Amino acid sequence: MGMIYVCGRHVRAGRKLIGWTVAQLAREAQVPPALIVSLEDDRLEPTGIVDRVARTLMRAGVRFLVLDECGMSGVWLNGPIASAQHFRRRAAGAQDSRSSRRAIRKGIEQRRLIGTACGLLKWNRRTLARRAGVAAADLRRSFQLDGPLPSVLTQALFGALRAAGVRFQPADFGCGPGAALVGGAAWAGHGTLVFVRHQPRAWE
C-alpha cells in the first residue's frame, strides 16, 4: 500500500463519483462545508482536515490515482457506482421492471462519470455545454431526468471530455468505473498524503 498526494480536483471528482453534495461530504467528514469548498478550489493548505476528507471518500469506496507511471491522475470506485436505493423511480409507489432499473443505473453512471470528469478538469456545467457544442438548457434538463442520456448528447459530452484529456474506466473485474486525466493537466499541484490500496484496470 503506497502513499499518494491528493489535491482539490481529486476530492471534487471523488465526491461527484459517489453522488454526494458538499453538505453530505462535510457531514460525513465532520468538517464545515466552507472547508470542503475551499479544499475543492485548492484554497486550503495541506492539513489534517484534508487527510480526513480524503479518507472519508475512501471509506465510501473512492480510490485515488495520482500520477502513476503512465502520467495519469484520477479517481475510480472500488465497487458499483450506485447502491440499490438510487434505482427507485422518483414517482412514489412506482414499480420498476428489470429493464427500467438497468436504464436508471445506466443514466446514473453516465451522469456520475460526466460530473467526475468535470471535477478533474475544473469545468462547470456551462463550460461543458460550450465545449460539447450543446445548449446549457438542454444539458440541465437532461441531468434532471431518469434513465440514459440521449445518444447524441452522450456522444457530444463524452467526446468533449475525451478531447480535453479525460480517459474513462468501465466497471470490470470487480473494480468500479472511474475517470482520469492524461497529459499535462494530470501534473497539477497536490495537497496532503493519503493511502491508495490498488491500481485500476485498463483505461479507455
Domain assignment of residue 155, yes or no: yes
Domain assignment of residue 58, yes or no: yes
Does residue 72 have a pLDDT over 90?
A: no
Cα-Cα-Cα-Cα torsion 194, 54, 62, 107, nearest 10 degrees, comes to: -150
Q: Average of pLDDT values for 69-91?
A: 63
Q: Which three cell numbers stand for residue 163?
A: 478531447
- Residue 73's contacts (CB-CB under 8 Å, 6 or more residues apart) are 10, 65, 66, 67, 120, 180, 181, 185, 186, 187, 188
Domain assignment of residue 62, yes or no: yes
Beta strands in the chain (DSSP E): 2-6, 62-66, 72-77, 166-169, 178-182, 192-196
Which domain covers residue 25, as residue numbers?
A: 2-79+97-196
Tally of CB atoms within 10 A around 50: 23
How many residues in the chain? 204
Which of 55, 10, 24 is closest to 186 using CA atoms? Answer: 10
Domain assignment of residue 87, yes or no: no
* Higher pLDDT, residue 43 or 189: 43
Look at the chain and report how many structural domains it folds into: 1
Return d(Cα 157, Cα 76) in angstroms, integer. Answer: 19
What is residue 137's predicted lDDT score, i.e. its pLDDT?
Answer: 93
**Residues 121-159: pLDDT tens digits?**
999 999 999 999 999 999 999 988 878 899 999 999 999
Q: Which three cell numbers stand for residue 8?
A: 482539490
Helix, strand and coil content of the chain, in percent to the nearest 5, comes to 50, 15, 35
Kindly tell me the sign of the dihedral angle through the C-alpha atoms of 139, 143, 144, 146: positive
Q: Is the pTM of this model over 0.85?
A: no
Using only C-alpha atoms, what is the Rg of the chain? 17
Domain assignment of residue 189, yes or no: yes
CATH classification of the domain holding 116: 1.10.260.40
**Residues 4-21: pLDDT tens digits?**
567 888 899 999 999 999
Domain assignment of residue 158, yes or no: yes
Domain assignment of residue 126, yes or no: yes
